[in-house]
Amino acid sequence: MRGEGGARLRWRDLPPHVRDGVGDVLGSPVVRADSQAGGFSPGSADRVVTATGRRAFVKAVGPEPNAHSPQLHRREGRVSAVLPPSLPVPRLLGTVDDGGWVALVLEDVDGHQPALPWRPADVAAVLDALAVLAAGATPCPVPDLPAAADALREDFAGFDRLAADGVRLAGLDELRDLARRGVASLGGDTLAHADLRADNVLLTAGGAVLVDWPHACRGPVWLDALLLLVEVERYGGHDVDALLATSPTTRDADPGELTAVLAGLAAYFLDGARRPAPPGLPTLRQFQRVQGEALLAWVRRRAGLAAG
């Protein structure tokens, strides 16, 4: 199951004043818009062309159906505005924000999303991009970002909530201990994307570009590579443990800490999958269930825990 599920708006669905505001950012009215799929957002995602031929990528969202979505766009805009140009990220050209609707106008990256299941060359390209990110974003160049431990602490407590609700899960006590260790393992001062999946990557002739930055935080140098390999493992066909042992940003990490963070992520997915779907995101919980079950199997294998 690909990481997508928002009932996306299209360019024509945006209020006229938002479309006009995008044209103001670009210096000319938009005359063409091609909608893009992927991602968990009810907002629009369009590659646009102006009357003067200028190209850009525009993502916009309003307060309905999901009131939380505009705040995510605002957060992404603040982060994107200060990302160093040397990093493998798209450049922010401007924003439109009327207090309800938010549109981000970004550089149009000439690339495509990785195919699923992941191909070896595509995995390698993203791991290379993460090495560039680590070299150029340690210490973290974005001010006031939350620490990964603070951003993920509540998510990693998912096994505690499962236990409190009487959910039966083999090895739950050991998994709870691992997830707690995972929180303690998240120290570091490297800029982390913190939401890496195929739908947040564009592959170009010059390498991989990492897009969609609302969840950025400061954490260990290996966090993003670990998150990427969660999806790679779910689709199969790769020795993800060997990749962790050899990739530039993960090869020096403590394997036990990596396993503990994977346990925390499994806790987040499995706990979240039990909840009602958020407005405008009808497939999110199914995605979390599939991801959580696959991740739990990986954690048990690495930690030597029986499946029960």
If one compares 2 and 257, the residue with the highest pLDDT of the two is 257
What is the per-residue pLDDT for 8?
76
Mean pLDDT of 18-47: 92
DSSP 79-126: HHHTS-TTSSSPPEEEEEE-SS-EEEEE-----BPPPSSPPHHHHHHH
Residues 137-179: tens digit of each pLDDT: 999 999 999 999 999 999 999 999 999 999 999 999 999 999 9
Sole residue written with tokens 């993800």: 240
280 has a pLDDT exceeding 90: no
Q: Is 10 in contact with 35 (CB distance < 8 Å)?
A: yes
Mean pLDDT for the chain overall: 94
What is the per-residue pLDDT for 308?
65
- The structure tokens listed for 31 are 């005359």
3-class secondary-structure state, position 192: strand
Q: CA nearest 10: which of 72, 53, 58, 54?
A: 58
3 has a pLDDT exceeding 50: no
Mean pLDDT of 198-203: 96
What is the per-residue pLDDT for 1?
44
- The structure tokens listed for 32 are 């063409």
CB atoms within 10 A of CB 125: 20
What is the per-residue pLDDT for 65?
84
pLDDT band at 34 (very low <50, low <70, confident <90, very high): very high
Beta strand 44-50 pairing with 55-61: antiparallel
Alpha-carbon gap, residue 143 to 141, rounded angstroms: 6
**Whole-structure pTM value:** 0.93
- The structure tokens listed for 159 are 């096994």
Residues 108-139: tens digit of each pLDDT: 999 999 999 999 999 999 999 999 999 999 99
**Residue 117: cis peptide before it, omega within 30 degrees of 0:** yes
Mean pLDDT of 224-250: 97
If one compares 215 and 307, the residue with the highest pLDDT of the two is 215
Mean pLDDT of 81-89: 97
What is the per-residue pLDDT for 6?
53
CB atoms within 10 A of CB 120: 11
